[in-house]
A and B are shown apart, each in its own frame.
Chain A
């Protein structure tokens, strides 16, 4: 036991003895592991937000389709659905895209009753909307467009009723920072005016009593909605349940994560080769050193134990640095560049706070990968030197 401890100690000494080799090996580990951890952190962060959104959302999402395309739903639909047994509450919602300011900043307007705002949303300044043409905007959008409660937005829409000046009355923050980046909340009426869709909604959010979800979903599917004056083309209702959303949303993310993992399998293979190359820094010296050890009575397994301890320490160091750097990349640099792989459309530099979660399992996986890279990279050269006769290693 004492011998193992003493040999292990020489492994620590060996790491310090060859600083260039150690730094190069750690750099190889960090280069491979850092983007991997950042990617996994982003993927898990986005998945968590998707799960949270579903949790805070409705039991059923009802939208309309006509001619195979999404179509607005008449608000009377809500009255028909309300009659179905098991339906507790219906929240109509209008969702549409607009551009703001001379910067042509894209934003999404969500019109809904103030009482139907997501539970995770809270105002950090001002208040929620009460009257028409009042807007509540996300912190990111407010920061970018330098808006605050009381700011007036020049007319950004025009319809049959003419131009309207809208007013920011509040700035909100959400537990799901990504979703607040481009969102503007307003009343259903204001949104209907903006998009010229009075009497309609983009979708209906239906809350059901426990156990009624499937029954209500089927009942809604059987409803036939006729628009006034149009009897030939009834509106079809499309119902998406909370369970369906739960399975749909992460599926895309997991698919993306799977592709990311596959790419990194390749990266890690290259990492092993790179580590083998970097461990070649001073390989003649390493070979000679091992030759001396063997000539003075060290056994092959003792030489390999020393190499294993050295590789273990280097991999722990590399993995720890990778985790730290990944946290900095995600927290301070907002997942620069990599975030765009997981969140299409946000670009390399997102002004919104990109969600991330560095979970223990991926971190542990990172340590194991680092160990595999360094072990395969450095132990091979040690093993080769240790298995030849000492006189040959010294030659």
Chain B
């Protein structure tokens, strides 16, 4: 029995509950729960993400940003509390149902997580394979995406043959290939130089303008400045709006 449904949810800035694409209720994620090594990565976090919004999660390293993104993206199950995606509670979903949810989400990893040795065009369209999209169609989709992200001449290169910026753009292209309703980006500019970071910032703003909901965890002030909503985390807990965590770089 969850306690959370009886408790009020912290209200995201100006968003109505029915507008929320994804929300969390008293969310908690503990590693080695019940043991002496228990780590509470996230505790009692309740947020809502409005459709079409740009949300930034800020906080010092180890504050739980990546864990929260993982839970929002149905990448793992919470220890306590609930995640609701399009109003549906993911807590009791089967593995197959979670996979279906993940198909509606594009995840951009901090370390890009491209498949080594696989040509770029295949890398960015592999999420489409289980949807039965043919190789020819995937090639066509990859061409469009690679053109959009200035990677057209790199279609047959392997990830290790690309620069960090190119790999990150490829990771964004992969996240977009399934036309997701939600983009989750985990510190997307942390491994990029100034030029690469600005380029990515531009890409994310374009994605947001196209109507896709974006949630980023970041230390980058430029991305924070783009956000409609900023959630600050510290030691796995959500800070009240206006309060500042020690060492936080969030704006």
Residues of chain A touching chain B, judged by Cβ–Cβ distance below 8 Å, are 1-3, 5-7, 9-10, 13, 17-18, 285, 288-289, 291-302, 389-392, 394
Contact of B75 with A389 in the complex, beta carbons under 8 Å: yes
Given A6-B129, A288-B113, A389-B75, A296 contacting B135 (CB threshold 8 A): no
* Nearest chain A CB to B113 CB, angstrom units: 5
Name the A residues within 8 Å of B126 (CB-CB): 10, 292-293, 296
Name the A residues within 8 Å of B76 (CB-CB): 389-392
Name the B residues within 8 Å of A298 (CB-CB): 99, 127, 129-130
A292 to B174, CA, bound (A): 11
A187 to B132, CA, bound (A): 78
* Nearest chain B CB to A79 CB, angstrom units: 85
A-B contact pairs, 15 of them (CB 8 A): A2-B132, A2-B134, A6-B133, A6-B135, A7-B129, A18-B117, A289-B115, A295-B109, A295-B113, A296-B107, A296-B174, A297-B99, A299-B130, A301-B96, A390-B102
A-B contact count (CB 8 A): 84
Pairs A-B, 5 closest by C-beta atoms? A297-B103, A3-B132, A2-B132, A296-B127, A389-B76
Residues of chain B touching chain A, judged by Cβ–Cβ distance below 8 Å, are 70, 73, 75-77, 95-96, 99-100, 102-103, 107, 109, 113-118, 122, 126-127, 129-135, 174, 178
Contact of B115 with A391 in the complex, beta carbons under 8 Å: no
A390 to B100, CA, bound (A): 14
Identity of the chain A residue whose Cβ is nearest the Cβ of B119 in the assembled complex = A13
Name the B residues within 8 Å of A18 (CB-CB): 117
Identity of the chain B residue whose Cβ is nearest the Cβ of A17 in the assembled complex = B117
A285 to B70, CA, bound (A): 20
Contact of B117 with A302 in the complex, beta carbons under 8 Å: no
Contact of A297 with B75 in the complex, beta carbons under 8 Å: no
Contact of A296 with B102 in the complex, beta carbons under 8 Å: yes
Identity of the chain A residue whose Cβ is nearest the Cβ of B127 in the assembled complex = A296
Contact of A9 with B99 in the complex, beta carbons under 8 Å: no
Contact of B75 with A295 in the complex, beta carbons under 8 Å: yes
A101 to B75, CA, bound (A): 81
A30 to B97, CA, bound (A): 41
Name the A residues within 8 Å of B103 (CB-CB): 296-297
Name the A residues within 8 Å of B113 (CB-CB): 288, 291-292, 295, 394
Contact of A17 with B118 in the complex, beta carbons under 8 Å: yes
A300 to B99, CA, bound (A): 9
Given A2-B134, A394-B109, A295 contacting B129 (CB threshold 8 A): no
Name the B residues within 8 Å of A291 (CB-CB): 113
Contact of B129 with A299 in the complex, beta carbons under 8 Å: no
A13 to B117, CA, bound (A): 10
A288 to B117, CA, bound (A): 13
A71 to B107, CA, bound (A): 90
Contact of A391 with B75 in the complex, beta carbons under 8 Å: yes
Name the A residues within 8 Å of B114 (CB-CB): 292
